[in-house]
Structure 1
Amino acid sequence: MHVAHLSLVDFRSYPHVELPLDPGVTALVGPNGQGKTNLIEAIGYVATLGSHRVPNDAPLIRAGADRALVRLKAIRGDRAATVELEITPGRANRARINGGSPVRSREVLGIVRTVLFAPEDLALVKGDPDGRRRYLDDLLVQRTPRIAGVLADLDRVLRQRSALLKTAGAAVRAHRQSPDLRTLDVWDSKLAQVGAQVLIARRELVEQLHPHVARAYEQVSAGQGAATLVYRASLDAALELEPNLPAGQDLVEAQLLEAMGRLRSKEIERGVSLVGPHRDDLLLELGGLPARGYASHGESWSFALALRLASYRLLTQTDGPDFDQGGEPVLLLDDVFAELDARRRDRLAELVAGAGQVIITAAVPQDVPEPLVGGRVDVMAGEVTRVL
């Protein structure tokens, strides 16, 4: 599969732009601040309904505009699909597929799949757990688009339950009495149900990712150290369980309910949900030690690259007969080579050179490694020009 055309209206810095694309390698070349990353961001947004740069949609709208439009044409074999997303702050985004009637934006998930390498990836290793949870969830959504609905339900349940916990805490502090917790019991059950689905899906994903990450790290680092992944669930800590024990939906639901019961007084006191997928972490280890805090800068970059390469390989293996079941993902490399030393730069270029479509951003043509020299589009002040 490849992206054949990208059209933007009032997206980021672009009042309007049309960008035709070919299979193979395309480099978007231009000085910093000219809009290269905005193009990469738009393609990734169609794949995940989120930006790798900001946590919400408002910054995606060009200053002075009230909405943005992203239109993308994808081709897989002899079939084509056109996706259109209308992004409006404060309202649900609208989507169309092949010019049809408006549908929920989640309906477009799976039509385009991407793996993005960016300077922000270093935070996967050195940053907080929320970035690693998002890494897993974005990958889950691209593999199984229906999980997006489960994640949305989880977010809604957590917001409602946290509001009830804060209300209960305020009642205790104000009246020195036990509040009526029957409504909270209902939301405990909802959190257990949806939380179990997310937890099980993440555990299975980590198990499938692990060999790909280990192999990719060995390739990027030239065999310097062994990379491993461990999913650390807050549930396991609350109940003093061994990590990653296999368990089905019913058992995990029961475990979550038990953990919430044990922690209820603390949750009411603090006004937050203390157990569930939103409190979990993906532990990254090198030679048995946590990469965060122990890995060097170069080792951290190797681990971040290994996570992205593993995503690409896993998505490539996850396929189906329907257009919206994937195909080989598009690789998006956003100014990543400028961040790497010569050895890692060359290794990454060699490992991705054979991909079906690679889109690179670079400040100057010389930043593109030799194995990835291909088509070129100059980007300057919001204008894109194909270089023959």
Structure 2
Amino acid sequence: MHVSHLSLVDFRSYENVDLELEPGVNALVGPNGQGKTNLVEAIGYVATLASHRVPTDAALVRAGATRAVVRARIVRGDRASTVELEITAGKANRARINRAPAPRPRDVLGIARTVLFAPEDLALVKGDPDGRRRFLDQLAVLLVPRVAGLLGDYDRVLRQRGALLKSAGAAARSRSGSPDLRTLDVWDAKLATLGAEILALRAELVTALRPYVAAAYEQVSAGQGDAEIGYRSSVDAALADEGEPPAPEGPRTVEGLEQQMLEAMARTRSKEVERGVNLVGPHRDDLVLTLGGLPAKGYASHGESWSFALALRLASYRLLTDGPPGDLESLLWASDWGPDGEPVLILDDVFAELDVRRRTRLAELVAGAGQVLITAAVPEDVPVQLDGARFDVEDGTVRRA
């Protein structure tokens, strides 16, 4: 898979730009603040419908414009597809596939797959759990686009149940009468049904990623430490607080997870009403990162944290390239794999952040990828192992060098 053409209209700093890209290495070189990251951000947006830099779409529309348009041509083998996304701040976005309107923007998911590594990824190791949850969920969507609908449905139910808990808590504190919780059981059931699917999915994904992460960390760090990942569930924690035995190792069924989630919500209901928040579910979970048996957050050095973040992205790339193992296939994951499905690898201003040893190791690991997009402030930041097409980016223009 590779992106052969990118066109932007009023996206970020670009009023209008057209860029022809090549398979293999494509380096976007220019001083900071000239728009290099905007180009790869647009390609990542086509694949995920999200930016790696901002949480909402409003900042993607150029100042003074009312909408932005991103158009990309994606080539897989002998097939080419054109995806067009129209981004309008404060309104629903629109999508077209091969010039035909798509019913929903998320219908474009799966046409392009990207793995993007950027300086912001250091937060995967040093930051809060929400970034690590987002990492898992975005990878799940890349593997199978239907997960986007599941996550969206869960978020909607979560908001509805949260609003009910908040109003019930306010009624209890006002002492004007007992809060009406008759509809809470209905929302509990909905949240448990959707949450159990997400829990099962994430657990299988972590299991599938684990050997890739360990191997990638060893390669990047030249064998300096053992990297491990695990999953910490708020459902297990809630049941453990009530004296339940620890959950057994290995995969659990969706049905079993649904019953556990219902039990956990029942046991924490008084706390949830008191605080007015949802305390149990995948929105409270964490991807656990350990290095040499110790938590990476707080114990890993700056260089080790970079290596771990890089290992997470490289592991994602390898999993997407190889395809899911049988356990993930059983959860109705995608089956469109093989060389034509290899994701585009994006390295956004990464090499300047790495020491010489890690820079060389990373370059050696990605040199054979089907398409690699690199941004760098100066040509010297692009390792010699990654020779290929080069584009100079300056003052809002992109020129083939």
TM-score, with structure 1 as normaliser: 0.97
Q: Aligned partners of 2:45 and 2:23: how far apart in 1? A: 20
SS of corresponding position for 2:268: helix
1:354 to 360, 368, 379: 368
Query: Which of the residues 266, 283, 286 maps onto 1:278?
Result: 283
C-alpha distance in structure 1 between counterparts of 2:249 and 2:128, whole Å: 21
Instruction: Write the letter of the residue equivalent to 1:102.
Output: A
Alpha-carbon contact 2:323-2:335 (below 8 Å) kept = no
Structure 1's 288 and 242: CA in aligned 2 closer, same or farther, altered over 3 A? farther
| In 1, Cα distance between equivalents of 2:214 and 2:293 | 13
In the other structure, the counterpart of 1:92 is 92
Question: What does residue 341 of structure 1 align with?
Answer: 355
2:205 is the alignment partner of 1:191: no
Amino acid at match of 1:298: G
Alignment pair present for 1:169 and 2:183? no
Aligned amino acid, residue 180 of structure 1: D
Q: Does 1:250 align with 2:255?
A: yes
Kept after mapping to 2: 8 A contact 1:109/1:324: no
- Look up the match of 2:79: 79
Displacement of 1:183 in angstroms is 1.4
User: Which amino acid in 2 is paired with 1:131?
Assistant: G
Aligned to 2:296: 291
Work out the CA distance in 1 between the residues paired with 2:357 and 2:337. Answer: 37
- The residue type equivalent to 1:63 in the other structure is A
Counterpart for residue 329 of structure 2: none
For the residues of structure 2 that align with 1:298 and 1:377, how far apart are their CA atoms?
A: 30
Which stretch shifts more, 325-334 or 344-353? 325-334
Call closer, same or farther: CA 1:158–1:321 in 2, change over 3 Å: closer
Gaps of 5+ in 2: 241-245, 325-333
Who is 1:133 aligned against?
Answer: 133
Q: C-alpha offsets along residues 3-30 of structure 1, whole Å, 9 cap, x if unaligned?
A: 0000001100011110110101010010
**Structure 2: how far apart are the matches of 1:296 and 1:195?**
35
- Which residue number corresponds to residue 218 of structure 1? 218
1:262 matched to 2:267? yes
Q: 1:33 to 1:243 in 2, by over 3 A?
A: farther
Q: SS of 1:274's equivalent?
A: coil
Q: Take 1:3 and 1:192, find their aligned partners in 2: how far apart are those partners?
A: 39
Whether 2:146 is the aligned partner of 1:159: answer: no
C-alpha contact 1:126 1:292 (8 A) present in aligned 2: yes
Displacement after TM superposition at 1:101 (Å) = 2.5
Mapped partners of 1:325, 1:274: distance in 2: 42
RMSD of aligned Cα (Å): 1.6
- Following TM superposition, by how much is the alpha carbon of 1:182 offset from its aligned partner in structure 2, in angstroms? 1.4
The Cα of 1:323 is off from its aligned counterpart by 9.3
State the distance in 1 between where 2:249 and 2:289 align: 15
Is the CA contact 1:221–1:344 (under 8 Å) kept in the aligned structure 2? yes
Cα distance between partner residues in 1 of 2:303 and 2:336: 40
Distance in 1 between the 2:82 and 2:390 partners?
24
Q: After superposition, what is the alpha-carbon deviation per residue over 1:304-358, rounded to whole angstroms, capped at 9, x for unaligned?
A: 1110100000000128775999700001010000111110011000000000000
- Over the matched positions of the two proteins, sequence identity in percent amounts to 72
Which letter maps to 2:360?
D
Q: Deviations over 1:105-141 (max 9, x none)?
A: 1100010000101001111001000000000000000
Aligned letter for 1:347? R
Distance 1:222 1:81 in 2: 40
CA contact (8 A) 2:321 2:337 kept: no
1:310 aligned residue (292, 312, 315): 315
2:243 aligned partner:
none
Alpha-carbon distance in 2 for matches of 1:147, 1:274: 22
TM-score, normalisation: structure 2: 0.94
CA distance in structure 2 between the aligned counterparts of 1:29 and 1:88, rounded to whole angstroms: 29
- 1:66 matched to which residue of 2? 66
Gaps of 5+ in 1: none
Instruction: Give CA-to-partner distance per residue, 1:176-212, whole Å, 9 cap, x none.
Output: 5321111111111111010011110000000000000
The residue number in structure 2 matching 1:386 is 400
Instruction: Give the AA of the match of 1:13.
Output: S
Conserved 8 A contact 1:112-1:326: no
* Mapped partners of 2:21, 2:251: distance in 1: 44
Structure 2 vs 1, CA of residues 244 and 230 (structure 1 numbering), >3 Å: closer, same or farther?
A: farther
Contact 1:318-1:326 at 8 Å conserved across structures: no
Structure 1 residues 243, 361: closer, same or farther in 2, change over 3 A?
Answer: farther
Q: Relative to 1, partners in 2 of residues 1:271 and 1:137: Cα closer, same or farther, differing over 3 Å?
A: same
Aligned residues: 387
Is the 8 Å Cα contact of residues 73 and 81 (structure 1) preserved in structure 2?
A: yes
Alpha-carbon distance between aligned partners in 2 of 1:302 and 1:322, rounded to the nearest angstrom: 30
Match of 2:331 in 1: none
Q: Secondary structure at the match of 1:64?
A: coil
Measure, in 1, the Cα distance between the counterparts of 2:394 and 2:80: 30
What residue in structure 2 maps to residue 117 of structure 1? 117
Partner of 2:148: 148
Residues in 2 aligned to 1:321 and 1:152: alpha-carbon distance in whole angstroms: 23
Q: Which moved more, 1:90-99 or 1:41-50?
A: 90-99
Query: Are 1:366 and 2:371 matched, yes or no?
Result: no
CA contact (8 A) 1:5 1:73 kept: yes
